[in-house]
Amino acid sequence: LSSAKRSKSAERAIGVFDSGVGGLTVVRALRKLLPQEEIVYLGDLARLPYGDKSAETVRRYALDCFHFLERQDVKMVVIACNTATAWAIDLLQAHSELPIVGVVQPAVDATLKAAPSKVGVIATRGTINSGVFQQKLHPLPLQAIPCPLFVSLIEEGLTDHQATELMIRHYLGSLDQVDTLLLGCTHYPLLAPTISRLMGPSIRLIDPATSCAETVAAELQKTDLLANGTGQVDLHFTDRPPHLERLVEAFLGEQVSFKLATL
Ligand code: DGL
């Protein structure tokens, strides 16, 4: 590529998708690490949650989201959803030449780097049932726990509520001798302070958003695709529930306007 063409391709946006607003934790981490990158985000709120759907359905939805981002001429696609990564990253990679980064491998790498003696993995039912973390972390001693109610509690803004504390105790009460807890869902970083408070400071939490953003930065650097732009963020959602403004602010840490997307 000539340098003019290369920079043109580097100035394209990073495409990010999730089933809803959870992936905004990844966008937040990306903006912190790569403030000059333009980001196009798609949240498939009309079809949330992905966490309880079958593999076939999640693959079909993920492909729709991917096609939407392809039409925005992005330079890379980030699957900011563990469930979609677990079931669909192979399909998307086989389907396209675009670089694709998911949230599973970066969190696995960050976990292995921490050299834990025993790992807890919490995620949606779909992600746990896919077995992806169990395979990738093998032969580390591991306890994998589906936490299907966490997403609803977080979306309701109840991160500090006693109902959530009760559910954390319910789901995580059986963790035994775990020193590292992998948050295997992009919603869960919002629960991190409450989990830490209840589980004690000796448990190290692996945040899927920061580890994913670091992988994206390394990948862009390696392929000479780092942008030098204004860091604009374009948010698209397939539905617009009445409390969406509040959710965007909670997950992204800032208020950004959004558009309705048709897939
Ligand atoms: N953000 C999704 C994930 O990381 C969970 C939300 C959902 O179930 O759609 O798995």
**113-165 pLDDT per residue, tens:** 999 999 999 999 999 999 999 999 999 999 999 999 999 999 888 999 999 99
Identify whether 185 is a catalytic site residue.
yes
State whether residue 155 is helix, strand or coil: helix
Residue nearest to atom 2 of ligand 1 (CA): 81
Identify the CA nearest to 33 among candidates 193, 169, 213, 168.
Answer: 213
pTM, two decimal places: 0.95
pLDDT at 35: 98
Burial (0-12, 13-18, 19+ Cβ within 10 Å), 182: buried
Span 225-249, pLDDT tens digits: 999 999 999 999 999 999 999 999 9
Identify whether 81 is a catalytic site residue.
yes
155 or 77, which is more confident = 77
CA–centroid distance, 209 to ligand 1, in Å, is: 13
CA–centroid distance, 52 to ligand 1, in Å, is: 9
Is 157:250 a contact under the CB 8 Å cutoff?
yes
CA–centroid distance, 89 to ligand 1, in Å, is: 14
Residue nearest to atom 8 of ligand 1 (CA): 51
Catalytic residue among 65, 81, 147, 212: 81
Q: Does pLDDT of 78 surpass 80? A: yes
pLDDT at 155: 85
Q: Does pLDDT of 7 surpass 90? A: no
- Both structure tokens of 239: 């539905």
Distance separating alpha carbons of residues 190 and 22, to the nearest angstrom: 9
Q: What number does the ligand 1 atom closest to the CA of 86 have? A: 10
CA–centroid distance, 4 to ligand 1, in Å, is: 39
Pocket test for ligand 1, best of 58, 132, 187 (most atoms within 8 A of CB): 187
Residue 193 carries which side chain, given as an amino acid letter? P
Q: What number does the ligand 1 atom closest to the CA of 80 have? A: 4
Distance separating alpha carbons of residues 263 and 253, to the nearest angstrom: 27
The dihedral built from the CA positions of residue 135, 208, 79 and 241, taken in this order, carries a sign that is positive
Catalytic residue among 65, 147, 185, 212: 185
Query: Which residues sit with their C-beta closer than 6 Å to ligand 1?
Result: 18-20, 22, 48-51, 81-83, 124, 127, 151, 185-187
CA–centroid distance, 126 to ligand 1, in Å, is: 9
pLDDT at 3: 62
pLDDT at 6: 59
Find the mean pLDDT for residues 73-102.
97
Percent of the chain with pLDDT over 70: 97
Q: What is the mean pLDDT of the chain?
A: 95
